[in-house]
Structure 1
Amino acid sequence: MPMFKNYFKIALRNLARNKVYAFINIAGLAIGLACAMLILLYVKDEVSFDRFHHNGPNLYRIALKSVHHGSEYQDGNTGLLQGPRFTQNVTGIKSFVRIQSGSRDFKKGTEVESRDLLYVDSNFLSVFTFRLTDGDAKNCLRQPHSVVLTRDEAKKQFGTTAAVGKFLLLREDSLFVPYKVTAVTDNCPQNSSIQYKILLPFKENEADAKNNDNWFSFFLNTFVLLDDHANPQTVSAQMQRFYEKDAAEVFKAINIKYGTSESEDAQMGTYFLQPFREMHMSTTLPAQNGLQNASNPMYAYILSGIALFVLLIACINFVNLTVARSVRRAKEIGIRKVVGSERRQLVIQFLGESFLLCAIAFILAILLAQIILPFFNELSNKKLAIVYLLDAKLIAGYIALFLLTGLLAGFYPALVLSGYKPVETLYSRFNLKGKSYLQKSLVVLQFTLASFLIIATFTIYSQFNYLTKTDLGYDDSNIVMVNKDNLAHQRAAIFKAELLKYPDIEYVAPKNSGSWMTGAKLDNDSSISFAWETVDESYLQTLKIPLLQGRNFSADFPSDSVNSVLVNETFVKKAGWKNPVGRSVIFNYQNNKVYQVIGVVKDHHFAALNQKIAPQLFTMKNSNPYGTFYIKIRPNTAARSLEYIQKIFKQFFPLSPYSYVFKNEQNLRSYESEARWKQIILFGAVLTIFISCIGLFGLSVLSAQKRTKEIGIRKVLGASVQSIAAALSKDFIKLVMIALIIAMPLAWLAAGKWLESYPYRITLSWPIFVSAAVLVVMIALCTVSFQAIKAAFANPVKSLRTE
């Protein structure tokens, strides 16, 4: 015991004497450990998703697989019929639950607010495990005018969680109807794909339940609960057999109605079951359409890789710095060996020092992880907390991480230091021999990773800038979007006229809400799918979309609102038309209604640039309601214009919720994933380059100490400070150049692969790689030049006095 006490005192004295060395070593380890902690937190959250449901192992989502033009597609959306029909006719299915996302207008006092919610079947809270704080899980959703709230929502609506029995006013058509709160649940866990604040009973009338057309109306998620002993593959096969039998006739009728040709290899598709717990990290069938928090496992892999390498680099730095400092402790080791210390005791001593440093670093890592957790949550789009780590398995994992880090960081230096010969160290004849292949290889590894991440950062930044700054083919500046669903054309025209009375409003263009996709036949007997937009004659002018051929819609031609359409260039190419103006588009499901093309608009990116421009058709058809207004305001008039728009909106639609968004801001939100990738890779690049530079600094210290006498001789013979500094730095720059040579082709391949997922992308070019190389070399040069210049300025007499 006294021996260990002595070791502890010596370790503390060494740290006190070498404060800069201790700070660099501890800081590097603390950063590496903090990264590892945060990644463990992230991975724990990812793998725990949806595992709190008691029925989880037996829960599956109904999904459909289909083949179109030789490509396979999978879809997790279903319609009204799949759940009840399969449950009634397939052995092994105990029950089903349908979940549909929606929104409703809520009235509180005189204020009207639109809120997102979920429509669910009455057994939702019996199948899924969301804990009730008040109410009955089996019966709370049975009545049509029931509503279930979470604790936070109850407190928001009523100021208390004791909300059962109270009423909320929800819009039904033009009236607000009271809904009774029948239950209150805990807030949804953060690791749940099903997120809600408000639940309403799923509404289904008898006619819809009997209508076989609803086999092919896909707008919700259907989950089934299987028997304990049911085989999912067997159940899926039974589902498919029943589907082919029950839906065959209506499938043929729909193909005839919508004009689907044989060339489009129309197929009924194949139903199968997706395990509920696999949904969160699925890339083919993600959580969507009312389900949330879908995750790409690539995020976990990349973050885990960054954390692993940062921790490994921190351990490498510990080894390099410890060996670099060993010359200063050579005499101490020699004296210990002379007075009888065994190599085993020296190994224990240096391992003990390693574990002491790791313990200090571990405490700092916990504090550091807590400090940067909000930033990490923003990067990873999570709501994690450190208390989430208070789990027996994770605590055991951290203990293992601590022991492993201590061994990795201390074992090699302990072996090297304990092997010094006492005679050489005591007579100052000791010198670190060898070419340090291990240390140099580790530095190459560090800078290879750092260079790779810097090139990746430059690539992602360039692609992000391309996506956000490329000409969209229309002008999205100073356009305010205001929603008003299901608005008739006549009412929209009056509202538009009132808005245009304000001098700071230049144009107003109504449009349908959301995205409408449909298909039709062409006059050459082919068929086409396209985005169907309902607009008025101001739409092209408001967005400054060029008209290439023909004419725009006009109030001077009454037939434009009945049978005229505009199409985009992609529509024309897909249709194979050479002279599109005057050609016909035939809507089979509208009793073969024929529309005539009166003009062609220039292709523009009406969807995000991560999607290819699709065929697009514009109509002014009176029976299609408007849902969004594009309001073009004069520059620098946003505050007063928005105030006027809100005032007029409330005058016209006092019972409708008002909200707005600027079109250019909405476009930027389409690239949130790219923005997050940009931040994650930048964060990883900064960390790896910082810790790699610490390692390079350690190696420069080691090199300067090995070449102390050489430097002294050079100075005595007249070498300048610049030439000595250059000689010391040259070897390290060679290592960095080797790292760049390795990293560049790897980064080229990885960046090229990543960019392939974008139909519109930058071209990988030499400036990205040259810029990254210059940055890496400059950082490395700054790191080693400090120690090189310090060694060059040293007094040569001191280094040569023992010769």
Structure 2
Amino acid sequence: MYTNYLKTAWRSLIRGKIYSIINVLGLSTGLAVAIILSLWIKDEVTFDGFHNDADRIYRAWVKEHYQGDIFFNTVTPFQLGVQLSENLPEVESMTRYVTLNTSIKKDDIIEAEQLFLVEPMFLEMFDFPLVQGSVSHVLDDLRKMVLTEQSAEKYFGSEDPIGKTLFIELENEWVGFQIAGIAQTPPTNTGFQFDFLIPFENTENLYSPQTRQSWTNVAVETFIKIRNGSDLTDFNQKVASFMDQQVKDIYAAGEYQVGFQPLTEIHLDNSFPVGILPVSDGRYPTILAGIALLILVLAGINFTTLSVGRSLNRAREVGIRKTAGASRTQLMIQFWSEAILTTAIAMIFGMLLSWLLLPAFNQLAGSNLILSINANSVTVIILSIIIIGLASGIYPALLLARMNPINSLRGSILSESMPKHQLLRALIGFQFTLSMCLVCCTLVMQKQLHFMQNKNLGYSHDQIVTIPITKAGSRLSEVITEGNNIAQLLEDNLSSDPNIGDISISCHIFGTSGWTNVGYSDPTTQKFQSFNVNQIDHSFIPLYGINLKQGRNLMDNNPADQKSVIINEAYSEAFKINVNETLQAPFESFRVIAVSDDFNYQSLHQQVAPLVLTTDLIAIIRTGSDVSFNDPNPKLSIKVRGSKITDGLATIERAWKEVTEIPYTFTFVDDIIARQYQAEKKLSQILSLATMFAIFIASLGLFGIVTLLVNQKAKEIGIRKLLGANTLNIIYHFNRKFILLILLAGILSIPIAWYFMSNWLADFEYHTSLHWSIFFISLCLIVLIAVSTISLQSFRAAIGNPINSIRSE
């Protein structure tokens, strides 16, 4: 019986070829978009979920309450993990790690790399399988190391690296590490993107004993695995009591809190401070899931509208079937069979299309998604076909099944023309409402990206190259001294080169996060205050074109400027300090020689914070009571002049290699600034593609409805032409039935798009405006597409021979 339903459904699809093609094309496009977005969403929400016992692994965090202020960190004191694992039986295991930017040498090749310093438990707690080596032995010696397959190939090619030695720069010395293991390269859906692992014990030479034993200095990320059956609420209470005892000489009860974040929630939870592991915006998977669902709905609406539209053509078929004894249930099963068969065919083409589009999407999203077929995916595919088929076919099936057989045989089932059918009008309007919402959102995101890329940040950043100076294990003061020497040598070598402009050295570069922040207790008010600080030289201000509202720039080789600082306008307003005044206590030994205009030295998500520019970062750090920073090692900034950028870069590289063995790696400041908005750029690009597909699907459905309408009104068109109607009259006749509907849909979409985009823009401290032109352009675009779609098909009908359409009358 069911075979007969499928055969009949297949014959029905063949008879209405053009409508079947439209349905399959629309559904397959919608399914392809939904499949790709679903793969990306799954990859995001299952980040680090592949580890065994991932549900029992937590990252520790620390929250300190100090004089009314709260300091929240996901990096913790060295001793936290050890104390918890030794004193609380609920902790099954613990591991700590920290990253280190340094240089690696093999033969005469020196490369800048990032190392993970991990405890042996790291490879037991997290599932990063070893291709060679034993988990229990690869890190059991201070001078052993693990490479990933990718890094092993980079340094050794096809050679077996086990037992060979790489040299790592630690404390200004090249230290040999024997390769004891090779790990699989970490997948893209983990935050632990390492290339090299070395034993955690090496931190003993990198951090002072005071730092390693302190409860107030944070440096490492700590992960614990809770025993099966442990009650997390009870465990947190025990931790709170335990920590109160440990820090009672420093903090009052409850002022030093330790909590735990589930491993699987780290990636998408940006409410926590950014630690070593990267995080993403947890809203984006929800946004893209909504877009995928909307596009599927648009494709399903196409099927519904075309099926309803064809009801008149199939009325006699239904009447004959009912007269022959077919029940309502049998008719509904028949029409559902057609819907499910159409969906199954569309699913095949949709999977093929998604397979073809996936490489381009991976490149766009920076992912490594793979479309694989397994038992679970087959189940999902079958369920999706049934659900989409039933959902999109339910109304047409009910409508056709309840027809009166007498009226059906007379062909009088519908008394109104199709565009006046209320449900049909509502569905078409809904499609274009959603389409215009997506167009508006895309234009707003593009406008915000353009705003961020072109906003005057208060400094020049064109053709400026930055080069990091790293010397692992060295004191910050030593690295700064080394950086100053390199800068002076480069300036001497490059001063006569016409392709090279100013050269400057600073501890932080524009567009990066984690600038040195110095906190202190105001002696007068006892209130905790903080400001950002950057060490610069005399060339920094002119190189970046920063405008000084008052005062003068730092002078070269001027001992008096050792204690001189430049502050920004935000600092001046916050602390009521001006030129020729000293900084507030306890920094009164520093004198302000200039106030600069505010400039956006960090992301436009953030308001410009108070900033001090100094030639002696170390002195300010030592004066403050609470200091946090991310990579304060010095960076060179070099201006490349003219259009011959490649020649300028080659000149800088030659000079660099003459003056230092530190690996030469450069980045354009422009690229660093642009990288801050990479997530927004990816979302905008994905939304743009989704919008194109949505418009295509909506236009496809409109094209099908107009085609159906033209066929149903063929005789009317012929009579109109015989009575003198020209081509434009007929095109206008069809357009006016839809344009008012689409205009109404566009107007309804405006408050929806406004609401969502207002919330999105609120995340930026500096953002573009929601100008009326965005919505006007979106409306014009949608109307233009609709008019073009309708006019194309109605034009073909209008130029036809009217005799052919009324021959039988």
Shared fold (TM-score, shorter chain, > 0.5) = yes
Cα deviation for residue 760 of structure 1 reads 0.5
Cα deviation for residue 71 of structure 1 reads 8.3
State yes or no: 1:366 paired with 2:364. Answer: no
Change (3 A) 1:544 1:683: same
What does 1:514-553 correspond to in 2, within 5 Å? 515-519=515-519, 528-553=529-554
Cα deviation for residue 780 of structure 1 reads 1.3
Partner secondary structure for residue 566 of structure 1? strand
The CA distance in 2 between the partners of 1:783 and 1:676, in whole Å, is 30
Cα deviation for residue 659 of structure 1 reads 0.9
What does 1:323-472 correspond to in 2, within 5 Å? 323-333=308-318, 344-387=329-372, 390-418=373-401, 433=416, 435-472=420-457
1:631-670 deviations in Å (ceiling 9; x for gaps): 11212021111111101100111x2110111111221111
The CA distance in 2 between the partners of 1:408 and 1:538, in whole Å, is 67
Partner secondary structure for residue 249 of structure 1? coil
Cα deviation for residue 193 of structure 1 reads 2.6
Change (3 A) 1:100 1:732: same
The CA distance in 1 between the partners of 2:172 and 2:203, in whole Å, is 20
State yes or no: 1:205 paired with 2:204. Answer: yes
In structure 2, the partner of 1:260 is none
State yes or no: 1:585 paired with 2:607. Answer: no
In structure 2, the partner of 1:726 is 732
1:230-255 deviations in Å (ceiling 9; x for gaps): 32222222323333333343469xxx
Which deviates the most, 721-730 or 107-116?
A: 721-730
Partner secondary structure for residue 113 of structure 1? strand
State yes or no: 1:745 paired with 2:731. Answer: no
Conserved? CA contact 1:432–1:706, under 8 Å: no
Cα deviation for residue 762 of structure 1 reads 1.0
The CA distance in 1 between the partners of 2:408 and 2:807, in whole Å, is 16
Partner secondary structure for residue 165 of structure 1? coil
Counterpart code for 2:652: I
Change (3 A) 1:725 1:746: same
In structure 2, the partner of 1:498 is 493
Among 768, 777, 783, which residue is 2:789 paired with?
783
The CA distance in 1 between the partners of 2:668 and 2:45, in whole Å, is 37
Cα deviation for residue 764 of structure 1 reads 1.2
In structure 2, the partner of 1:272 is 259
Cα deviation for residue 734 of structure 1 reads 1.9
Partner secondary structure for residue 695 of structure 1? helix
In structure 2, the partner of 1:567 is 567
Which deviates the most, 679-688 or 320-329?
A: 320-329
What does 1:581-660 correspond to in 2, within 5 Å? 581-585=579-583, 588=586, 594-621=589-616, 627-653=634-660, 655-660=661-666
The CA distance in 2 between the partners of 1:544 and 1:771, in whole Å, is 37
The CA distance in 2 between the partners of 1:289 and 1:752, in whole Å, is 29
Partner secondary structure for residue 601 of structure 2? coil
In structure 2, the partner of 1:257 is none
In structure 1, the partner of 2:474 is none
Conserved? CA contact 1:103–1:116, under 8 Å: yes
Which deviates the most, 670-679 or 146-155?
A: 146-155
Partner secondary structure for residue 176 of structure 1? strand
Cα deviation for residue 798 of structure 1 reads 5.4
The CA distance in 1 between the partners of 2:155 and 2:50, in whole Å, is 28
The CA distance in 1 between the partners of 2:6 and 2:486, in whole Å, is 84
Which deviates the most, 311-320 or 489-498?
A: 489-498
* Alignment length (residue pairs): 777
Partner secondary structure for residue 138 of structure 1? coil
Partner secondary structure for residue 757 of structure 1? coil
Q: Identity over the aligned pairs, expressed in percent? A: 31
1:376-427 deviations in Å (ceiling 9; x for gaps): 324444211012xx34333211110011122233343344445556666666
Partner secondary structure for residue 682 of structure 2? helix
1:197-217 deviations in Å (ceiling 9; x for gaps): 211111343995566873222
1:96-141 deviations in Å (ceiling 9; x for gaps): 2112122221112211001122111232112223222332323322
The CA distance in 2 between the partners of 1:612 and 1:622, in whole Å, is 23
Conserved? CA contact 2:22–2:701, under 8 Å: no
Which deviates the most, 86-95 or 527-536?
A: 86-95
Conserved? CA contact 2:534–2:617, under 8 Å: no
Counterpart code for 2:735: S
Among 286, 291, 294, which residue is 1:309 paired with?
294
Partner secondary structure for residue 289 of structure 2? helix
The CA distance in 1 between the partners of 2:299 and 2:468, in whole Å, is 53
The unaligned stretches of length 5 or more in structure 1 are: 253-265
Partner secondary structure for residue 496 of structure 2? coil
Partner secondary structure for residue 533 of structure 2? strand
Partner secondary structure for residue 386 of structure 1? coil
The CA distance in 1 between the partners of 2:211 and 2:322, in whole Å, is 92
Counterpart code for 2:228: D
Change (3 A) 1:532 1:267: farther
Change (3 A) 1:585 1:522: farther
State yes or no: 1:682 paired with 2:688. Answer: yes
Change (3 A) 1:29 1:161: farther
The CA distance in 2 between the partners of 1:629 and 1:199, in whole Å, is 29
Cα deviation for residue 337 of structure 1 reads 5.3
**TM-score calculated relative to the size of structure 1:** 0.89
Cα deviation for residue 518 of structure 1 reads 1.3
The CA distance in 2 between the partners of 1:471 and 1:284, in whole Å, is 29
Change (3 A) 1:374 1:606: same
Change (3 A) 1:609 1:194: same
1:473-513 deviations in Å (ceiling 9; x for gaps): 11111211122231413453233222223222121111125
The CA distance in 2 between the partners of 1:634 and 1:681, in whole Å, is 38
Counterpart code for 1:678: S
**TM-score calculated relative to the size of structure 2:** 0.89
